[in-house]
Chains A and B, each alone.
Chain A
Amino acid sequence: MKNAPTIFLREMRNYFVSPIAYVALIVFTLLTGYFFAAYFNMATRYEGEANLRMLFHNMSITMLFLAPLITMRLLAEEKKSGTIEVLLTSPVTDAEVVIGKFAASMAMFIIMLILTFLCPLFLMIYGNPDIVPMIVGYLGLILLGGAFMSLGVVTSSLTDNQIVAALISFVMLLGLWVIGWMSTTVGSQVGKILSYISLMEHFDDFSKGVMDTKHVIYYISFTVFCLFLAIKSVQSAKWK
């Protein structure tokens, strides 16, 4: 794994020379700020609770749209320009490439989250919130982000077109987000499976401030599985 940090640093630099990073950061902070202001306003007027539960939900939905934008270029761009040929003939492993790139997208996401720390700060100044649920909520967002980004890395490895990569990744994320809605309509066994697969169902507890290992394990195994697929996909591109 000694080359993963090198690849990570190059990706980070690349994010900040292209407009994508700035657009994602601005859009995410703007929207989060708006959601927070709207809720805060309502909560103070009608004596609501001083927590970020609604906000975490809104942030997760926003991420659903922004995550594909962050991950789309990771491998697709290298495939399009041909730089992947130089990269993969250097003494680096496919895993190092995938992990380095995934880590860069995660770092981007964490920077986005840090910029929203103003919201809990405001809450602490003007209210008296529980700190632990907010920490748990942010932790949940990071785990969710890991799942989003790893899926994005997979779709980016499948095509040399960034738009296609973003679109596939968005459709898949949305599908996995809402798949639980069908759980009551289909049989109880299938329904259980559907709601277990759903990315959204597992996030609910985090937003309430409840940390359950089963959800942690779900997100981590989802991420690891996607990264595994991405590594295999990078390898298999050479087999054809």
Chain B
Amino acid sequence: MIEVENLTKRYGDFTAVKEINFRIEKGEVIGFLGPNAAGKSTTMRIITCFMPATEGTVRVDGYDVFDDSMEVRKRIGYMPENVPLYTEMSVKSYLHFMAKIKGVPRSQRNNRVDEVINACGLDNFRNRATGKLSKGYRQRVGLAQALVHNPQVLILDEPTIGLDPRQIIEIRNLIKSFGGDHTVLLSTHILPEASMICNRIIVINEGKIAGTVGLMDGKVINIQHEGAERVDLEKLGNIHLQVKGNTEEIIDQLKAIENIDDVQLTHYEDKVGFYNITHEMGSDIRPQLAKIIIQNGSELMELRPMEMTLEDAFLELTREEVVGV
């Protein structure tokens, strides 16, 4: 649905986005995750035809954002950061205006406006001026506006920023409900939020894509460094191990065990080594691990299987990036 190829955006000497590539399939809910000023908003503004790219191409539903801008715009609903609205208009007349300029035919306009008002829970506020609404409801109007022409693609820049916890949950559920029918691309720098809403996350840092993380029901199921093979976490497991004893010997012995891919010493303190073990899923290797360590005369302090959280995945992706430089 969205194809981004070698996208670069420079503001004078400053490169905001550097040669990024990604594809988004129909019906996916994609999170754009990264620290502030990572290039999220810039990328979104290019996809929405608000600004042109310096280099590279972006296609939405096969249409180029530069050559077929109008076709792209018809297919996109966009909510910019901080949700700018015409504050003097009522919710209803604002949505009517947006429906009109987005080309919703006159006969369907009333219906569409009513539909998005209901979908976004704005029923009691339809005649209220948008400038008099609370932040949470302004956000809903922003979403309603993005939805009003029933676009195939929704692009939401920081949809929950500045909301209170209850509003955040409501808006998240709303966005979640759009998945499937719509292709959603949203940006955030809040990890739990991304893991709750999205089924894939693109981690972007300093204008470059660090990698992507696949999610299912909030669990990390795969991770892919940019330019590397995708690692399927359903096939690989991680075990955290703390052992007192000679580190080199322990690593050698552990590596000899079948099904163990990699053993890494992550930390060493008071003669206790902290190890991270990557192993293939299937048979449980924990009893075997414990047995070998004890037979060797070392002291087993801790043995714990680890599930990768989005936080770990994010840290790993952004750490590699630093090492790579």
Whole-angstrom distance between the alpha carbons of A7 and B73 in the complex? 17
Knowing A90-B98, A91-B102 touch, does A240 contact B11 (C-beta < 8 A)? yes
Taking a contact as CB atoms under 8 Å apart, the answer to whether A85 and B84 are in contact is yes
| Per-residue B-contact encoding for A85-105, CB less than 8 Å = 1, 0 else | 111111111000000000000
Whole-angstrom distance between the alpha carbons of A57 and B80 in the complex? 47
B101, CB-defined interface residue at 8 Å: yes
Closest B residue to A88 by CB, please name it: B50
Closest B residue to A10 by CB, please name it: B97
* A86 touches which of B74, B84, B88 (Cβ 8 Å): B84
Closest B residue to A14 by CB, please name it: B88
Taking a contact as CB atoms under 8 Å apart, the answer to whether A91 and B73 are in contact is yes
Knowing A14-B86, A91-B74 touch, does A85 contact B101 (C-beta < 8 A)? no
B100, CB-defined interface residue at 8 Å: yes
Closest A residue to B142 by CB, please name it: A86
Whole-angstrom distance between the alpha carbons of A90 and B148 in the complex? 12
A127, CB-defined interface residue at 8 Å: no
Distance in Å from the Cβ of B97 to the closest Cβ of chain A?
6
Taking a contact as CB atoms under 8 Å apart, the answer to whether A81 and B84 are in contact is yes
User: Which A residues lie within 8 Å of B49 (CB)?
Assistant: 88-89
B192, CB-defined interface residue at 8 Å: no
Closest A residue to B51 by CB, please name it: A238
| Per-residue B-contact encoding for A6-25, CB less than 8 Å = 1, 0 else | 11001001100110000000
Main secondary structure of the interface of A (DSSP, over half): helix
Taking a contact as CB atoms under 8 Å apart, the answer to whether A90 and B73 are in contact is yes
- How many Cβ-Cβ contacts under 8 Å join chain A to chain B? 61
Taking a contact as CB atoms under 8 Å apart, the answer to whether A89 and B100 are in contact is no
Whole-angstrom distance between the alpha carbons of A6 and B102 in the complex? 11
- Which chain A residues in 116-172 approach chain B with CB under 8 Å? none
A82, CB-defined interface residue at 8 Å: yes
A221, CB-defined interface residue at 8 Å: no
- Which chain B residues in 84-128 approach chain A with CB under 8 Å? 84-89, 97-98, 100-103
A3, CB-defined interface residue at 8 Å: yes
Distance in Å from the Cβ of B197 to the closest Cβ of chain A?
22
Chain B: interface residue count, which band? 20 to 34
* B101 touches which of A13, A90, A239 (Cβ 8 Å): A90
Distance in Å from the Cβ of B95 to the closest Cβ of chain A?
12
Closest B residue to A3 by CB, please name it: B101
User: Which B residues lie within 8 Å of A7 (CB)?
Assistant: 101
- Which chain B residues in 42-101 approach chain A with CB under 8 Å? 45, 48-52, 70, 73-74, 76, 78, 80, 82, 84-89, 97-98, 100-101
Taking a contact as CB atoms under 8 Å apart, the answer to whether B78 and A86 are in contact is yes
Whole-angstrom distance between the alpha carbons of A186 and B51 in the complex? 46
User: Which A residues lie within 8 Å of B84 (CB)?
Assistant: 81-86
Knowing A89-B49, A90-B102, A239-B52 touch, does A17 contact B88 (C-beta < 8 A)? yes
- Which chain A residues in 59-91 approach chain B with CB under 8 Å? 81-91
Distance in Å from the Cβ of A116 to the closest Cβ of chain B?
28
Closest A residue to B155 by CB, please name it: A89
**Which 9 pairs between the two chains have the least Cβ-Cβ distance?**
A82-B84, A91-B73, A83-B84, A89-B48, A85-B80, A238-B51, A17-B88, A6-B100, A89-B78
Given A18-B88, A85-B45, A89-B48, list of 18 further CB < 8 A pairs?
Answer: A3-B100, A6-B100, A6-B101, A81-B85, A81-B87, A83-B84, A83-B85, A85-B50, A85-B80, A86-B78, A86-B84, A86-B98, A87-B101, A89-B50, A90-B98, A91-B70, A238-B50, A238-B52
Chain A residues with a Cβ under 8 A of chain B: 3, 6-7, 10, 13-14, 17-18, 81-93, 238-240
Chain B residues with a Cβ under 8 A of chain A: 11, 45, 48-52, 70, 73-74, 76, 78, 80, 82, 84-89, 97-98, 100-103, 145
Supply 24 A–B pairs (Cβ within 8 Å), ascending by A: A7-B101, A10-B89, A10-B97, A13-B89, A14-B86, A14-B88, A17-B88, A18-B88, A81-B85, A82-B84, A83-B84, A83-B86, A85-B45, A85-B50, A85-B84, A86-B80, A86-B98, A87-B101, A88-B50, A89-B73, A91-B102, A91-B103, A239-B52, A240-B11
